[in-house]
Structure 1
Amino acid sequence: MEEIEIIKPDDWHVHFRDGEVLNTVVPETTRHFARAIIMPNLVPPILKGVDAVKYKKKIQRAIPKSDRFLPLMTIYLTENTNKNDIRIAYESGQVFAAKLYPAGATTNSDSGVKDINKIMPVLETMSEIGMPLLIHGEVTDKEIDIFDREKVFVDQKLDFICKELPELKITLEHITTKEATAYVNEGNKNLVASITPHHLALSRNAMFVGGIRPHNYCLPILKREIHRKALVEVAVSGNSKFFLGTDTAPHLTSDKESFCGCAGIFNSTYCVSILAQLFENESALHKLENFISKNGAKHYNLKINKEKILITKSNHSLLFKKELDVKKQKIRIFEPDFPVFWTVSG
C-alpha cells in the first residue's frame, strides 16, 4: 500500500443540471471537492443574479450533511446581457463569474453569443470590476471542421478579446489542442486554461473502438493523440496557468445512446483516482496537488483549501461502478482505457 496526502481539490467546471439529475450527481462532486464553478446552461439558462441564487439553493439542498462544499455560481452571457446587471450580480456576491458560450457550440447553448462585438461593453465592465470570464472556445461556423473549431476560435476570437482587454481574467475552458496549450502558455498573465480528465485520458480513437462509442462523445470533441500528449505535458508540468475543470456533464444513457447522441461525459465519481493514475504514469505524482488543488485557486484569488484528502494505492486495480441510478434511468460513469490503482480514502 502507498499513500499520499494532498490539499482537498477544487473543480473549476461542473454541470449539475436540475431536478432529479441534480440531486443524484451533486454528491459525486461534493464527496471529493471543496469548491466548484457551476455552469449556467440550464433550460432556461441562468441569466441574472437572482436566477443564480435560486439555483444555488437547489444545489445546497442536495449536498450531503457530511460534505463541506461551496458552489460558485455563474451567469450565462447573451447579446442582451446588461453590463449594470453584471456589475450588481458580481459585486453583491450573487455570482462568481460569467460564461461565454458561442451560440450552438454545445449542450443548451442556443441562446449564446453570435457576435463578440455585441458583448464587448459587458466584457469591459467585467475587466474593470475583476470578474472572471469563462469561455467555451469553439467557433460554430458550418464550414469549419469540427476538429478545428477550437484552433479557429483561439486565432479569431480569443486573440481579439485578449488584445482588447488584457486585464480581463479569462479561463479558456476544457482545452483540447496543442495550439491552445501554446497560446495560453505564451499569452498574457490573466489568461489561463482548464483541462478535463477525459481529454487527458483519451484521444479521438476512443469514440470509434469497435463501433461508435457515444459515451466518449463530448464537446469540444476528443482530438488526435498528439494533442492529448500536449495536454498531459502541461498538466503534469506544474505550470500555474493550467488546472482541473472536469466539465463533468451528466446525460441519461437513453439520451447518449439516442439518434442525437448528446455531448458530455460524466466523470466526477472517479476523477481524483483517474488523475492520480495519470500523473503517476507520467512520474509526476508530486505535481498532482498543483493541478487539482492550487493553480485554480491562485488564478481566482481564492484561499487554498486547508482540508486534506488521502489517496491510497492498492495492488489491485479499482473496480469502477458503471452507472448512477436516476429513478428508473441511468447515467454512465466515465472509465478510462487504462487500469487505475488509486482511491480517495479520506
Structure 2
Amino acid sequence: MTNTVDQLTIQKPDDWHLHLRDGAVLESVVGHTAAQFGRAIIMPNLTPPVTTTALAQAYRERIVAALNKTTPDAKFEPLMTLYLTDNTDSDEIRRAKESGIVHGVKLYPAGATTNSDAGVTDLLGRCTKVLEVMQEVGMPLLVHGEVTDPSIDLFDREAVFIDRVMLPLRRAFPALKVVFEHLTTADGAAYVSEAEGPIAATITAHHLLYNRNALFQGGLRPHWYCLPVLKRERHRQALLQAAVSTSGRFFLGTDSAPHARGRKEQDCGCAGCYTALHAMELYATAFDQIGRLDQLEAFASLNGPAFYGLPVNSATLTLKRAEYVVPDQLPLAGEEVVPLANGTTLGWVVQP
C-alpha cells in the first residue's frame, strides 16, 4: 500500500456482499461495481431465488453478458451463491462446490428482507444434513443475522439472533465457515471478534458512516432505509473499531441494493441503499474520519480473499483526496435510482 496525505493506492478491492438483480436493472448497475471492484459475492435473492448450481451458472452467464454489453473492457468476476431453503439437498452443495463458481450459501431467515419469503424457517431443525456437508467441503454459510420474531424489537434482532441461532450453530458445527453479513451492532462486532472457529463479517459503508438519525433528518428519508436498519451511534463506533482492527475477521461488503425511486418513495417502501457507484469513496471517507486509512487496504482488499481462500487481486485502485458530490439520481432500467447520500459531498474520489 502506498499512502500519502492526498492519495491512497491499494490492491484492488472486492465486494463480499452485493445485489445486482436481473434483466434491465442488472444492465444498469453492474458497471458501477466493475469500475471499483475485482470480484463480488452475488446474493441470490432473485424471484425465483437461485437455489441450484444450474441456476447459479445461468445467472452468472447473464451477469457476464450484461457486463460485456455495458462495460466490455471491465475485468470483473462474479462469485456466485446459492439461496438456502428448508428443502436444499446436500447433494446440491457438493455440486456447487465442484462447480468452482459457487462460493457460499446464503441464509435468509424467512421474511427477513427483500425477496426472503422462501428462506429458512428452522436452521438446525431443517438444514442439519446440508450444514454437515457444507462443513465437510468448506462451503461458507453467509447469514443474514436477524431473527424475524415479531415480538422482538427491530433494533434488537441482531443481538437476539446471536443467542438463538449463532451460538447453537457454532456448537453444532464448530468447523463451518460462517460470514455474519452486514454487521450492525456492537453485540455483533464483539461476537465475531471473540468467537472460536472460522467466522468473519462484512460491514457496509452506510453502517460505518451513519447512525439511525440519518433516517429522520428533516423528515422521513426512505433512501437511507435498509435492513438491517441503521442503529445507534454507539453501534456505529463499535463497527468502525472492528473495521480498522487487525483481527482479519472483518471485510468490505456493500450490500448495495438497487430499487427504483418509486419503490422506495411509497407508503411501504423497499429496504436497501444503493452504494455501488461510490462505494470506495464512502469507505475511504469513513476510515479517514477516524484517521485510519492505513487499515483500508486490509479491510477492502486482503481480509476477504484470505477468508474465502482466494488470491488477492493483482491490479490496484487509487483514491485521491478531493470533493466528490454524490449524484441526485442515476438511470435504472427506464426509471431512476437514488444513490445513498445523494447531493452530499464526500472527501475522496476513485481515480479512473
TM-score (norm 1): 0.97
Structure 1 contact 238–291 (Cα < 8 Å) conserved: no
Aligned to 1:273: 281
Point out where structure 1 has 5 or more consecutive residues left out of the alignment.
none
Q: Deviations over 1:197-242 (max 9, x none)?
A: 0111111111111111111110011110100110011112233000
Aligned to 2:64: 60
Given the alignment, which residue of 319, 322, 334 partners 2:325? Answer: 319
Structure 1 contact 170–192 (Cα < 8 Å) conserved: yes
For 2:280, what is the secondary structure of its paired residue? helix
Aligned to 2:316: 308
Number of positions where the alignment pairs a residue of Structure 1 with one of Structure 2: 344
Structure 2 contact 107–119 (Cα < 8 Å) conserved: yes
For 1:24, what is the secondary structure of its paired residue? helix
Structure 1 contact 10–35 (Cα < 8 Å) conserved: yes
For 1:318, what is the secondary structure of its paired residue? strand
For 1:260, what is the secondary structure of its paired residue? coil
Aligned to 1:91: 98
Given the alignment, which residue of 46, 50, 53 partners 1:46? Answer: 50
Distance 1:327 1:84, change over 3 A: closer
Structure 2 contact 264–271 (Cα < 8 Å) conserved: yes
Aligned to 2:34: 30
Point out where structure 2 has 5 or more consecutive residues left out of the alignment.
none
Aligned to 2:76: 69
C-alpha deviation, 1:4, in angstroms:
1.6
Distance of 1:337 and 1:151 partners within structure 2: 34
C-alpha deviation, 1:310, in angstroms:
1.2
Trace 1:170-189 onto structure 2 (pairs within 5 A): 170-189=178-197
Aligned to 1:15: 19
Aligned to 2:134: 126
Given the alignment, which residue of 290, 298, 304 partners 1:290? Answer: 298
Moved more, 89-98 or 147-156: 89-98
Moved over 6 A (4+): none
Structure 1 contact 274–336 (Cα < 8 Å) conserved: no
Distance of 1:135 and 1:188 partners within structure 2: 17
Distance of 1:54 and 1:185 partners within structure 2: 37
C-alpha deviation, 1:318, in angstroms:
1.3
Q: Deviations over 1:24-76 (max 9, x none)?
A: 01001000100000000000000100000010011001221211001000100
Aligned to 2:7: 3
Report percent identity of matched pairs: 47
Moved more, 14-23 or 83-92: 83-92
Q: Deviations over 1:144-185 (max 9, x none)?
A: 111111110011101111111111000000010000000000
Letter of the 1:178 partner, please give it.
Answer: A
Q: Deviations over 1:65-123 (max 9, x none)?
A: 21100100010000000001111122122411100000000000000001112111101
Aligned to 1:334: 340
